C-alpha cells in the first residue's frame, strides 16, 4: 500500500518536473520577435547616448534639478529636525553641542545692534542657569557636568557684563534696562537654587558652588547697574546739556513773532544793528577813508 503511495508520489513529482520543462520549452521568443526586440534595445541605448551627448538636454537638466531640489529639501528637513531637537538638550546629551555651537551661534548672528547683543548675552546666561536647574530636577547633575555648566555660565555672564558696559557708552537707558533684567534673572534663579539646595541635601555642596558663582555674578551686574544709574542721575542733575539748550533756542527761533509781520525775531533785529557798530580803531579808519573819498 505504502509502496504504491510512494510510487504514485514519485510519478507526480516527475510529472511536475516535466511540467516545468514543458513550460520552459513552450515559452520562447520567435526569431522575428528576438530581432525586433534587439532593435528596440539598440534604439533605447542610442536615444540615451544622444541625450548624454547633449549636456543641456531639458530632461537631463530637469532630472538634475529635481535631484538637487530633493537633496536640498532633505538636508533642510534633517537639519531643521536636529536644530529643533537640540533646543531642549541638556549637558551630557548628544545634541547639546549642537545647541551650543549651532543654535546659539545662529541666534548670536541675528543680534546686530549693541542692545540686541547685550539682550542675547543675558538670555544665553539665563539659559545656562535653567539647564542647571533642569539637571538638578532630573537628578543628572554630577561633578563633571556641574563644572562644565558653571564654567560656561561664568564665561557667558562675564560676556553679558561686557556687552552691557559696551551698550552703556551708546544707550545708557537700554544698558540700565538690560543690566536690571540680568540682575533680576540671577536673583530669581539664586532663590530657586537655594530652595532646591534645601530639598536636596545630597547635592548640596555642588549647588553651593553654583550659588556662589550666581551671587558673585549678580553682585557684579548690580554694581554695573548702579554705576550706570549714577551716571544717568549726574547727567539729570547737571541740567539740560549744551545740545539740549541749542535745540531749545532753535525751537524758539522757529516760533514767529506775533508783532513782527515779516517773521523776524527781535533778537535777530538787534543783532543786525550791533553788527554795524565797529570797534574804535576801525571807526577812526572808517572816518578817514570816508573823508578822503568825499574830498
Partner 1 sequence: MASAQEQEQAILSAYDIYAEPLFRHCYFRLYDRESAKDAVQDTFVRAWEYTAAGHHIDNMRAFLYRVANNVVIDRMRKRAPLSLDTLFEKGFDPRDESSAARIGDITAGKEVLCMLDRLEDPYRTVVVMRFIDDMMPREIATVLGETENAVSVRLHRAVKKARRLWNNGEINSTHYE
Instruction: Point out which residues bind partner 1 (CB under 8 A).
Output: 8-9, 11-13, 15-20, 22-31, 33-34, 37-38, 40-42, 44-45, 48-49, 52
In angstroms, give the least distance from the CB of 48 to partner 1.
Answer: 6
**Smallest separation (angstroms) from partner 1 to the CB of 42:** 7
CB of 159 to partner 1, least distance (A): 53
Residue 15 or 242 with smaller CB distance to partner 1 = 15
Cβ of residue 66: shortest distance to partner 1, in angstroms? 17
* Cα–Cα distance list, 168 to 149, 173, 273 (Å): 28, 8, 47
Nearer Cβ to partner 1 (26/94)? 26
Of 48 and 219, nearer to partner 1 (C-beta) is 48
Cα gap 164→156, rounded to integer Å: 12
- Distance CA(286)–CA(283), nearest Å, equals 5
Q: State the residue for C-alpha cell 553679558.
A: 160
CB 233 within 8 A of CB 170: no
Determine if residue 30 is left, alpha or beta; phi over 0 gives left, psi from -120 to 50 gives alpha, anything else beta.
beta
Q: Look up cell 516535466; give the residue.
A: 18
- Closer CB to partner 1, residue 45 or residue 106? 45
In the bound state with partner 1, the residue whose beta carbon lies nearer, of 21 and 247, is: 21
Min CB(75)–partner 1 separation in Å: 24
Q: Cβ 12 to partner 1, closest distance in Å?
A: 5
Q: Which is nearer to partner 1, 34 or 147 (CB)?
A: 34
For 92, residues 6+ apart whose C-beta sits below 8 A from its C-beta are: 135, 140, 145
Determine the Cα–Cα distance for residues 286 and 152; give it in Å rounded to an integer. 80
Residue closer to partner 1, measured from CB, 33 or 270: 33
Which residues 6+ apart lie within 8 Å of 64 measured at CB? none
Q: Which residue, chain included where needed, has cell 539682550?
A: 119
Shortest Cβ 25–partner 1 spacing (Å): 6
The three cell numbers of residue 292 are 578822503
- Cell numbers 554705576 correspond to 227
The helix (H) or strand (E) run that includes residue 14 is: helix 2-26
Please, which residue, 41 or 82, has the CB nearer to partner 1? 41
Instruction: Tell me the three state secondary structure of residue 277.
Output: coil
Q: Strand, coil or helix: what is 212?
A: helix
Amino acid at each position: 500500500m505504502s509502496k504504491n503511495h510512494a510510487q504514485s508520489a514519485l510519478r507526480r513529482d516527475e510529472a511536475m518536473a516535466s511540467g516545468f520543462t514543458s513550460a520552459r520549452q513552450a515559452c520562447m521568443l520567435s526569431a522575428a520577435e528576438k530581432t525586433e526586440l534587439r532593435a528596440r534595445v539598440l534604439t533605447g541605448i542610442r536615444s540615451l547616448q544622444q541625450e548624454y551627448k547633449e549636456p543641456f538636454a531639458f530632461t537631463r537638466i530637469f532630472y538634475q534639478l529635481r535631484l538637487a531640489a530633493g537633496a536640498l529639501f532633505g538636508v533642510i528637513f534633517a537639519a531643521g529636525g536636529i536644530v529643533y531637537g537640540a533646543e531642549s538638550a541638556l549637558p551630557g546629551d548628544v545634541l547639546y553641542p549642537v545647541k551650543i555651537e549651532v543654535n546659539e551661534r545662529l541666534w548670536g548672528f541675528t543680534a546686530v545692534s549693541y542692545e540686541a547683543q547685550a539682550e542675547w548675552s543675558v538670555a544665553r546666561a539665563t539659559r545656562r542657569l535653567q539647564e542647571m536647574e533642569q539637571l538638578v530636577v532630573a537628578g543628572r547633575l554630577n561633578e563633571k557636568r556641574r563644572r562644565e555648566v558653571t564654567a560656561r555660565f561664568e564665561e557667558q555672564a562675564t560676556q553679558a557684563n561686557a556687552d552691557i558696559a559696551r551698550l552703556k557708552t551708546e544707550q545708557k537707558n537700554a544698558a540700565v534696562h538690560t543690566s536690571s533684567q540680568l540682575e533680576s534673572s540671577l536673583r530669581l534663579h539664586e532663590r530657586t537654587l537655594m530652595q532646591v539646595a534645601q530639598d536636596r541635601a545630597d547635592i548640596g555642596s555642588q549647588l553651593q558652588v553654583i550659588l556662589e558663582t550666581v551671587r558673585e555674578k549678580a553682585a557684579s551686574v548690580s554694581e554695573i547697574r548702579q554705576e550706570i544709574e549714577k551716571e544717568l542721575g549726574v547727567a539729570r542733575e547737571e541740567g539740560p546739556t549744551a545740545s539740549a539748550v541749542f535745540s531749545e533756542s532753535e525751537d524758539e527761533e522757529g516760533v514767529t513773532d506775533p508783532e513782527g509781520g515779516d517773521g523776524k525775531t527781535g533778537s535777530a533785529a538787534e543783532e543786525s544793528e550791533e553788527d554795524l557798530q565797529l570797534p574804535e580803531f576801525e571807526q577812526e579808519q572808517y572816518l578817514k577813508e570816508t573823508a578822503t573819498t568825499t574830498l
